[in-house]
Structure 1
Amino acid sequence: MRMSFSVRTFAAPLLGAMLFASCSKSELTPATPTATVLRADVSATGFPEGFETGTKTAYTTGSVTLGSGSWTLNDALIGNTTADVKTGTQSARVRNSGSLSMNFDLAGGAGAVTVDHAKYGTDASSTWELWASTNSGSTYTKVGSTITTSTTALSTASFTVNLAGAVRLQVRKTDGTTNRISFDNITVQSYGSGGGGSTGGTKFLFDASHAELAGNADWALDVDAGVTPRYPTPAASGITSTTAETYWTAALSSWGVALVKLGNSVENLPAGTALTYGNASNPQDLANYNVFVVDEPNTLFTAAEKTAIISFVQNGGGLFLISDHDISDRNNDGYDSVDIWNDLMTNNSVQANPFGLSINYTNISETTSNVLASSTNPILHGSQGDVTQLKFSNGATITKTSGSQAQPLIWQTTATQGLTNIMCASSTYGTGRVVVITDSSPADDGTGSPGNTVYPGWTEIASHAKLHMNASLWLAKQL
């Protein structure tokens, strides 16, 4: 058992400090909300391309087989040195007037395309462009504006290609200097497909930007050397029906791998990345996703972030809200996840108590079978199976506001199926959906960074995976 200690600090009024043993488990400017959530298109087969599977060690022109297909690298190679900027172990490195060219067509066309880029080592700034061909590479047309690479940290350039039919892409370095550029994580969304309710097109974003790795926790899809990459590595394109959850390393990898097996795409929102809604310049803006998963945040959301989250739900997005028990402040900043979620719901500029519930300052441990008696509820009886139990290993409880739209789903063992002592609930707000579970243990798959203590809650109770997966698909409007 790992013991955690924290002091809760209240700004107004100051209620004092409390010290307890607990836990047996491990300013942005507000964007103007758009009228409806922007639904991302289906990712093209084999993308995102992270350059993790190919080998090319020389700049001489040659073809290399990558996860997405065959590419010709001209005055370019696959780099894996410390100076090669990357999210996994490799990225493409281009010099002079080099290029990265697809040798295959995207049969579903190309909608939105993003490319991560950074300066190599101490080299000066360089420029590059994205080009597209609709005749199998005979001729190309420039897409968007010329990009300047000026920092040694990966930045994301976004392009709107919007070409139907067979399309292939080419990245061209254009300044002709010997300065080198690292390219990584090329994403391609198929043209004119996808949507909120379609399998294969649904995009899930897992938050890792609010100290979800604090203490012994690893509440992310993948953690590499203490860092959560946007795209878990190895690439999701390598996942098959028999892939083990150890394909990625973090406490939520089982969840992520299971979603990919159903044809969905998943990403982390890394630490330091802006959390926005309606900001077209941010490639990870919430409007580009169907479902936002936040498992036990440990830092407060800013005013702008709270506006973004609630507006995202209001305009059709899905929010999976996971809390932990009272006094579970893993980073000792005075706020635990109970504080943080209640602050979101009571102290925002959009709507007071938007989801019709609150999280209690409680700490319970029990296995319950006190499940809502409904044979049709899609979260309890969805495509992933029937939910009959839920085990909390130190979790909080939920109270529903009388008359609100919230729907309690699971209660404590001896509780009346009413407004209190709730352990799992769903809700709606605007055209969006919300699911709340007030313990992080059921989603924990028992894997994490070296030295972290996590527990296999995902498989401890058979209903845990079914509950989280049914809830995920309901939030995505697939159920």
Structure 2
Amino acid sequence: MTLSVRYLVAPLLGALLFASCSKSELTPEAPAAATVLQNVSAPGFPEGFETGTKTAYTTGSVTLGSGSWTLNDALIGNTTADAKTGTWSARVRNSGSLSMNFDLTGGAGVVTVAHALYGTDASGTWELWASANSGSSYAKVGSTITTSSTTLSTASFTVNIAGNVRLQVRKTDGSTNRLNFDNITVESYGTGGGGGGGTGGKKFLFDASHAELAGNADWALDVDGGVTPRYPTPAASGITASTSETYWTAALSSWGVALVKLGNSVENLPSGTAITYGNTSNPQDLANYNVFVVDEPNTLFSATEKTAIINFVKNGGGLFMISDHDVSDRNNDGYDSPAIWNDLMTNNSVQANPFGYSINLTNISETTSNVLASGTNTILNGSQGAVTQLKFSNGATMTKTSGSAATPLIWQSTASQGNTNIMCLSSTYGTGRVVCITDSSPADDGTGSPGNTVYPGWTEIASHAKLHMNASLWLAKQQ
């Protein structure tokens, strides 16, 4: 890609985003008097149906890891025909349901549900409902979901109810076909502080450990004297609604400042720091973060790092992958970012092609308006605005694996909206989420280390900031 120098980002209006919806929006809203922020996870969740036994469809209650649930015309199955992560998943037929018999006292923010067809059964529909009065009445959350694949995919709902709440999954087509449900996640919805990286926001980690500063690049939040500090300086606590992106100096500073303005916290992963997952001795272990952003890595991930990244996503994390064009090896080690990302996805010990796509060894430059027409997709139509264009200043393309969980979002201008010629897509794996953009120019804000030539990609096309911010919030399950 051509490196980008951006202009100042206009201050984002408003400090919160939680009134917006993801796939769906519930009619009841959280009290307006409180500044409402989501926490990481409700107690006992995610619910994977790995604890508790119910082998018959007859209505009955079962104690699961999260608490007691009533399964109506539903059971917990582990046959080869049951779509599942782990050993067990719920199986529902007819007009069956899965209902919590307990209240989540911390409320519910974003809820995700993995769903798939059982065996060779026909497609079916289902809905998420929520109760704020201990089950006396329920309100439907958003639109009806159609399940048509035998592979688990994840539906996301923004419930946004503070105080006591319980949830119910209802199969609505009434037919004898069976649906599997697994990996139900619930994020608490409490009250807390606002901007400057408030404790109720999500944690974003930006990688600077894989030569992201090589050559003429500064793919980090802040660079001080050629070094990327863990915490950008000055401190994020000084950021207000009117703070300029020049508060920090690096090509991704606009992105970081914008996230902090929404109550989130951001950090660099400095050079020489290991990428781990589940290592309690590492203070920057991925388990301590909600979203991992990697913009144009220039060295291969080690086998251990690949395992950490993929398991982080599998267990609910968000991964923002940014690539560049073919032959963009900035440190001359024989590997550029398309090859490095493809190596992660094809040469790991966890899952071959976990995200359902590959990056092509291509080099394109164009501005496209060939955007998926979907009013419900919150990456394209989220709280930060509608995405209508994307400009590549030397970038690659992607190909979706047929039948995978990947969702193409933006294509080359003359391409059909299919599985090839993709410039931006999202995907799910396990309970986590992935977004990939195959040019680093759109994220570049034009501020870099002295001597680096950069360009204003962040503000060059009005949709660029909206796309990256909507995608960030979707990855963090904030919309």
2:342, 2:274 → 1: CA distance? Answer: 21
Aligned residue in 2 for 1:423: 423
Q: Please give the residue correspondences for 1:94-243 in structure 2 after superposition, counting only pairs within 5 Å.
A: 200-243=200-243
Q: Is the 8 A contact 2:191 2:200 kept in 1?
A: no
Q: Is the 8 A contact 2:222 2:253 kept in 1?
A: yes
Distance 1:356 1:249, change over 3 A: same
One-letter amino acid of the counterpart of residue 328, structure 1: S
1:310–1:350 CA contact under 8 A, matched in 2: yes
Residue type of the partner of 2:407? Q
Whether the 8 Å CA contact 1:206–1:267 is kept in 2: the answer is yes
One-letter code of the match for 2:388? T
Partner letter of residue 200 of structure 2?
G
Q: Secondary structure at the match of 2:355?
A: coil
Q: Is the Cα contact below 8 Å between 2:370 and 2:389 reproduced in 1?
A: yes
Q: Measure, in 2, the Cα distance between the counterparts of 1:193 and 1:269.
A: 29
Q: CA deviation at 1:39?
A: 4.6
Residue 449 of structure 1 aligns with which residue?
Answer: 449
- Which residue of structure 1 lines up, in the alignment, with residue 281 of structure 2? 281
Distance in 1, matches of 2:200 and 2:449, equals 30
* Equivalent-residue separation in structure 1 for 2:265 and 2:280 (angstroms): 20
**C-alpha displacement of 1:345:** 0.1
Cα shift readout 1:180-199 (whole Å, capped 9, x = no counterpart) = xxxxxxxxxxxx988xxx98
8 Å CA contact 1:286–1:292 kept in 2: the answer is: yes
CA distance, structure 1, for counterparts of residue 357 and residue 268 of structure 2: 27
The amino acid that maps onto 1:207 is: D
The yes-or-no answer on 1:25 pairing with 2:24 is: no
Match of 1:475 in 2: 475
Question: After TM superposition, which residue ranges in structure 1, 4 or more long, deviate above 6 angstroms?
Answer: none
The AA in structure 1 aligned to 2:462 is: A
Supply the distance in 2 between the matched residues of 1:335 and 1:465 (Cα, whole angstroms): 28
- The corresponding residue for 1:304 is 304
Tell me how far apart the structure 1 counterparts of residues 459 and 465 of structure 2 sit (CA, whole Å): 7
Residue identity in the other structure for 1:477 = K
TM-score, with structure 1 as normaliser:
0.60
Aligned residue for 2:477, secondary structure, equals coil
In structure 2, the residue matched to 1:314 is 314
Within 5 Å, which residues of 2 pair with 1:80-99?
none
Letter in 1 for 2:240: T
Aligned AA for 2:431? T
CA distance in 2, matches of 1:277, 1:456: 34
Distance 1:463 1:279 in 2: 38
C-alpha distance in 1 between matches for 2:290 and 2:335: 28
1:101 is aligned to none
Contact 1:207 1:270 in 2 (8 A): yes
Does 1 or 2 have the higher relative contact order (CA < 8 Å, sep 6+)? Answer: 2
SS of residue in 1 equivalent to 2:376 = coil
1:270 and 2:283 correspond: no
Q: Distance in 2 between matches of 1:245 and 1:356?
A: 35
How many Å apart are 1:201 and its aligned residue? 2.4
Which structure 1 segments of 5+ residues have no match? 1-22, 27-37, 42-191
Aligned in 2, Cα 1:193/1:350: closer, same or farther, shift over 3 Å? Answer: farther
Q: Which residue of 1 aligns with 2:290?
A: 290
Amino acid at match of 1:209: S
Larger radius of gyration: 1
User: Could you tell me whether the CA contact under 8 Å between 2:202 and 2:290 is conserved in 1?
Assistant: yes
Give deviations 1:23-77, integer Å, cap 9, x for gaps.
Answer: 4326xxxxxxxxxxx9599xxxxxxxxxxxxxxxxxxxxxxxxxxxxxxxxxxxx
C-alpha separation between the residues in 2 aligned to 1:259 and 1:438?
Answer: 21
After superposition, the Cα gap between the structure-2 partners of 1:276 and 1:229, relative to the gap in structure 1 and judged at 3 Å, is same
5+ residue gaps, structure 2, are: 5-38, 43-189, 193-197
- Classify the secondary structure of the residue corresponding to 1:332: coil
Q: Distance in 2 between matches of 1:446 and 1:373?
A: 30
Could you list the per-position Cα deviations for residues 323-369 of structure 1 after superposition, in whole angstroms to 9, with x for gaps in the alignment? 00000000000000000000000000000000000000000000000
Deviation at 1:424, TM superposition (A): 0.1
Deviation at residue 476 of structure 1 after TM alignment: 0.2
User: What corresponds to 1:386 in structure 2?
Assistant: 386
SS at match of 2:282: coil
The residue aligned with 1:162 is: none
Contact 1:211 1:298 in 2 (8 A): yes
- How far apart in 2 are the matches of 1:285 and 1:40? 18
The residue type equivalent to 1:233 in the other structure is T
Distance (whole Å) between structure 1 residues aligned to residue 215 and residue 41 of structure 2:
34
Report the Cα distance in structure 1 between the residues aligned to 2:398 and 2:412, rounded to whole angstroms: 10
In structure 2, give the amino acid aligned to 1:324: D
2:350 aligned residue:
350
Aligned pair in 2 of structure 1 residues 193, 314: CA closer, same or farther (>3 Å)?
Answer: farther
Aligned residues with identical type, % of pairs:
86
User: Partners in 2 of 1:410 and 1:267 — Cα distance?
Assistant: 29
Q: Tell me which residue corresponds to 1:365.
A: 365
CA distance in 1, matches of 2:453, 2:350: 38
**RMSD of equivalent CA atoms:** 1.7
**C-alpha separation in 1, matches of 2:367 and 2:199:** 33
C-alpha displacement at 1:274, in angstroms?
Answer: 1.2
Distance in 1, Cα, partners of 2:377 & 2:355: 18
Inter-partner Cα distance in structure 2 for 1:267 and 1:278: 18
Between the aligned partners of 2:456 and 2:395, the Cα distance in structure 1 is 16
